[in-house]
Chains A and B, each alone.
Chain A
Amino acid sequence: MIGCKSVERLPHLLKQPATGAKARMREVVYTFTNLLTTASYLSFSDDRLEQIERGLIDPKKEFDLMIRRVRDTLPDVERRFPYILVPEYSKTRRIHFHLMLPKKFNFEKIEENWERNGLAQSVNIRSEIGLVKMGFYIAKDFDEPIFGRPCSRRFFAASGFQPKRIDYGLMTVSQAEKLAQEQASRVGLAVKEFVSNMPWLRGGYTWFDESDFHEGGMPPWAT
């Protein structure tokens, strides 16, 4: 299997949710709450892919190295930034990374430091709903079995930026709807109900700005 060896060697580090659906939700929420609007795509050149296949380099280690080099060029106050990395196979089994970075991130630094591995491209997501759509898009392979993914872990997120979970306790459907409406009315939006097929989840309520829906600004590789 071509993939990230470091994680395979250290199974105790596998803290990812057991199901793709839960991982997807965490990834989407992380992306949204940290406003990771710089959506990027990191690919590997043919030479690099060959080296990965021969086990000479570990793609995740190459990414870690790149991020460390980028951090070293940034001023102290900007060194800690949230990001989320999703390793993925293309249809032709070429490994690549989806990387979400904060708004107005100096992407030239990523391009410069990734050059030795391949190409880095980025696009700015312009709306809230576009960001959610992008989050779902990069999680499209989360339901693949473990051997269908490049790494055991579905995503790698920068630590220290985990979204804070709020537990509202036990409620009936009408109480939950009322709570959602109260929260939505504070920002002047309407509540939309959604249902889930997942056995542990009934569904819920969202209040995204619908007017942004058609202006998602999805990058070319996501259409």
Chain B
Amino acid sequence: MWVPTGSFEPEEIENLALDEASFLDVRPANVNADGQFVFRVSGYEGFPALYLRRVSSREQRFDRL
């Protein structure tokens, strides 16, 4: 059970420094630079089909976008 201790002071929130610019730069791995969802596309040699697999949003592979 959460017990209020009174240790939090309201002014702390005012002093809290968040680097908003870098925070907004972090985008999920399944979204490209244009804001569109990306999928891992695969197929098999000689089989007439392409499969679009979902990519985890936590997959940090920006270099491959």
* Residues of chain A whose beta carbon lies under 8 Å from any beta carbon of chain B: 29, 32-33, 128, 163-173, 175-176, 179-180, 183-184, 187, 189, 199-208
Contacts and interface: CB of A to CB of B under 8 A. Distances in A.
A170 B38 contact: yes
A211 to B, nearest CB: 14
Given A170-B65, A173-B39, A165 B44 contact: yes
9 contacts: A33-B44, A165-B45, A170-B39, A180-B50, A183-B50, A200-B54, A204-B52, A206-B50, A207-B49
A204 B39 CA distance: 10
A170 B48 contact: no
Contact of B48 (A167, A175, A176, A208): A208
Contact of B45 (A33, A169, A199, A204): A33
Contacts of A164: 44-45
Contact of B54 (A33, A187, A201): A201
Contacts of A163: 44-47
A33 B47 contact: yes
Given A202-B53, A204-B50, A205-B49, A173 B37 contact: yes
A200 B53 contact: yes
Nearest to A35: B46
A14 to B, nearest CB: 23
B41 interface: yes
Chain B CB count within 10 A is highest, among A168, A170, A205, for A170
Nearest to B55: A170
B64 A206 contact: no
B10 interface: no
Contacts of B36: 172-173
Contacts of A168: 41-43, 50
B33 to A, nearest CB: 11
A102 to B, nearest CB: 14
Contact of A170 (B44, B45, B50, B64): B64
Contacts of B41: 167-171, 175-176, 179
Contacts of A171: 38-39, 41, 52
Nearest to A203: B52
B32 interface: yes
Contacts of A202: 39, 52-54
A169 B50 CA distance: 12
A167 B40 contact: yes
A201 B53 contact: yes
Contact of B52 (A165, A183, A187, A201): A201
A166 B37 contact: no
